[in-house]
Structure formats: C-alpha cells, structure tokens
Amino acid sequence: MSAFYSPYSSFRGSRKRSKVGALLVRRIRSLSGKRAQRRANSAIRPSVVYCACPSPTNGLEGASVRVLELLDAPPVQRLLHRISWVTRSPSDPFTIMPLVELWKKTPEQFHGKTIQQVLGFAGDGRLKDGNSTSVEFREFLAHLPSSELSLFANQCLETAFPDSGFALQDIANQVGNRLGFRVENGRYRGNPNALGFDGLWHTADGETILVEVKTTDAYRLSLDTAAEYRRKLIQEKKLSEDKSSILYIVGRSDTGDLEAQVRGSRYAWDIRLISVEALLRLLGIKENLDDQQTVDRIKNILMPQEFTRVDNIIDLVFSVTKEVKKEAEDAETQEEPASTKKVKKFTPVSYRPACVDRLQTHFKETLVKQSPAIYATPDGSTAVSIAISREYPSGNNTGYWYAFHPSQKEQLEKFKTAWVTFGCGSERQMLVIPFKEFVSWLPRFNQTDLEDRSYWHILIEQSSGSWIILAKAGQKRIQVTQYLLKD
C-alpha cells in the first residue's frame, strides 16, 4: 500500500490495515469516474495522512478511517477533501457520513474550519439548486448554534469564494427560521421557468417577506427585480399585496447609498433593509426572550412600518429591556427556598450548557436554543426546558429550587414531544420528565403572581438516592426517582 501511510505505524506488516487502505483506494476510484481512475492509477502517491482504526474485536467490520490531512494529490484532491470520516458498513465498504452526522458524532472536527472547507465536505462541494450539497449544507446549518452561524456569515463577507453569496443566502434563511418565520428557501440562480428570489419568510398571521440577500451594497441594486418577483407571486396568488413586503439583507452595516436609492424609488413603502450583523443581533435578542408577544413584535420590525408616532418603538424597547433583565435573573441566579434561609440570598449557577451537552448525548439529537431555557431539535419535533439550581443542604436531605414560567409552558405546548428537565447541582444529576405528565402536576405546586411575572415554585428534594418534588399544603409529594438520567 505505497499510496497511503500512517503517522502512527506502517501498513507494511499489518494485513488488516493494508486491506483497509486497499478498500479506500478502490472506493475513491469507483467514485471518481473513469478519467479520474486513469489519472489516479498513475498519480496516486503517498499524499494522504490518515489513521486506520480496525476494531480489535470485529476486525474490518468495525474499521473506521479518518482522513487527517491532505498534502498533495491533484487527481483525487477534490474527492479526498470531502472525506472527513469514512465508516465500514455491510452494504458499502466505505460510506461517507453527511455533515450532520459528522457534527453529531465529532463536532470538534469542525473547530477552526472555514465555511469554504465545510462546503467541501458536502456532496460535490458546490451549491446548486436542488443538488445534494445544498440539502446537506442547509440541514447542517440547522444544527449549528447561533454563534457558529454568525462566524460563518462573517467569513462569507470577509473572504469571497465561488459560492460565498449562496452560502450567505442559506445562513440568512436559517436565521429567519430561528426568528420564528416559516421559511421557504429560494433559488441560487433564477431561470425563465422559476423566480429567483432568495427566500420567502411567512408569519403565522399570513404576512410574507420576500427576502433578497446581497453580500455588498457597493454597487447600485436593481430594485425592480425583487419588485417583479413580488408582483408575479401576487398574480399567482401565492402572496397577498397588502400582506407582503420585500427585505434586503446586505453584508455591510453602512447602507446609506442603498437607503437613499430605496427612499427615492416608488417602492419606498414596500422595501426594508437590514445588515447581516443587525439580523444576527436580532436573533441573539430573540434567544434571550421567553415572552412570545415580544418576539412577534421584534419580527414586525422587518416589515414596513409607519413611524411618524414612535410610541410602538418605545414600547418595544421597554418590553425587550424588561424581558431580558427578567430572564437574565432567572437563568443565572436561584433564590434559596424560604424554609432554608433567614436572609434573601442569590447564588449564580451557570452549568446549563453542560446540561445541553448531556441531553444531546442522551437523545442523540442536536438541541438548538430557542429562548433562555428552551431548546429544540432542528426539525421542530422535540423540545426541552432546562432549569438549573444549586444545592441547598438541609439536614440529611439536599434541596433544589426552580421557577417554571407560564411562557415556558406555552412554548413547550407547541411541540409534538416535550420534556421538562432539571439540573440538580450540576449536569451530572438531571431529572428528565415528560412534559404532559409534568403539566398535570402544576396545580399541586405553589404559585407566585406578580405584576410583571408569574411562576410556579418547583422544590425538589433528594435523600439517600430517593428524589421527590415537594407539593403545597394538603397535596401529596411526587416521587420522581424514575426520571433520574442515568446515561
């Protein structure tokens, strides 16, 4: 196997490793086409550093090969660049994992990777309408935390590459999805038989935003193009004229020239502008809000508004400020139960991210942040609330105190499957309770009703391995030991 070598040990003298290498070469040639096969036969040389890891017990059946570095193999460089992790399967000697599976199994592989490199691992590495690369890339984006979306968006703007504009379009649509719109992805390229808009963002009350994403506004845009897309969609009765608008998402925050162009056009009342940076900030605000009414008002910012009177803007700023402050207190501090304290005391706790990691491992699913305490799977089928508390020792028992809010209940009710989870002192002790069962217990808990908020008091107690939720006077305690997460 002179074509490949391992930095850890030579393939020479290892029949299993030689066989793994031979299967990989055959797989490369079968995927490359006849022309590439002829070139590979003459040009493959020691150019790929990888580690072959046959299972000690299963031999080749459990073998996996990880491509660690591509040094110099022009004939097969594009193909090999896309192979990040290759696994042995009964039906196919080597099956290339999709990006999402790579992310779920080994997210550390993506650390330091640019968006251009990530695209190289998807399909044929080029974004085209309807091809497997676009499907795989969009699914991958749905699993990323918003911080990664922001990083990739900035890379699209700072370093131009062949598909940077298309990648930015997909990122913008993913942000729209997380803001709560129902997103219809547009086309990368228009053609005579299909309109070339970048996306349609629909609201629950029938409003639709036609989205156009531009990496720069350094040149004069043709506003007529997007307006014509909208007009044709209205003719086809896919949009309503009085409940639709156009949103330009542009790469730069300095959009003065484009703003002047819109104001001076006949479309001034139909078009709004926002920078990529501001759109991502909007997502960050949304992820720190629990109140759905405030979230809906934030989404309305992206639609044309008449702001001669600014009361609505002031109300929105006030609502967001109050909500963010409230959720920050709820997320980062916990108040000791009255029964265990004489003086009001707040203790910071910050292990929720570790709880998210453990739940992702347990459910074998990515969990994407929806609000301070709510996370959901990318397909929107499952959601979890994650409450955390420090420990409160009391004699032979240990207590944990939480607040469960009506807004969290409303959010979880929207999902087909939902769970209420509690981190008890750390991510190593977690209770995972089905939402439907937990909701049936709410009348048994004490509730606080204040002018600006309402919540149920959840007091959990642990003693000698037994876990219970305390109830208000006259109600029976609830045994929850069976919900303790063990894996």
What is the rounded distance in angstroms from the CA atom of residue 422 to the CA atom of residue 356?
A: 11
Predicted local confidence at residue 247, as pLDDT: 94
State the pLDDT at residue 73: 39
3-state secondary structure of 182: strand
Nearest to 121 by CA among 142, 137, 135: 137
Helix (H, G, I), strand (E, B) or coil at 309: coil
* Secondary structure (DSSP) of 375-420: EE-TTSSEEEEEEEE--EEETTEEEEEEEE-HHHHHHHTTSSEEEE
**pLDDT given at position 95:** 53
Using CA atoms, how far apart are residues 100 and 281, in angstroms rounded to an integer? 25
Q: What Rg, from alpha-carbon coordinates, does the chain have? A: 27
| Strand ranges of the sheet holding 430-434, from the earlier edge strand across to the other edge | 368-369, 374-376, 382-389, 417-424, 430-434
Report the pLDDT value the prediction gives residue 329, as an integer from 0 to 100.
52
User: Would you state the pLDDT for residue 49?
Assistant: 34
Position 395 scores a pLDDT of: 83
Distance CA 33, CA 336 (A): 67
Comparing C-alpha atoms, which of 314, 477, 319, 336 is closest to residue 398? 336
Q: What is the pTM of this model?
A: 0.77
One digit per residue, the tens of pLDDT, for the chain of length 487 reads: 333 333 333 333 444 444 445 555 554 544 444 444 444 443 333 333 333 343 333 333 333 333 333 333 343 444 444 444 444 344 444 456 788 888 888 888 888 899 999 998 888 889 999 999 999 999 999 999 999 999 999 999 998 898 999 999 999 999 999 999 999 999 998 888 889 999 999 998 899 999 999 887 556 678 888 999 999 999 999 999 999 999 999 987 666 677 788 888 888 889 998 999 999 999 998 898 877 778 888 888 888 876 656 666 777 776 766 665 555 555 444 445 554 444 444 445 689 999 999 999 999 999 999 998 999 999 999 999 999 999 998 888 999 999 999 999 999 999 999 999 999 999 999 999 999 999 999 999 999 988 777 899 999 999 988 999 999 998 999 999 999 998 7
Distances (CA, A) of 224 to 230, 259, 265: 10, 15, 10
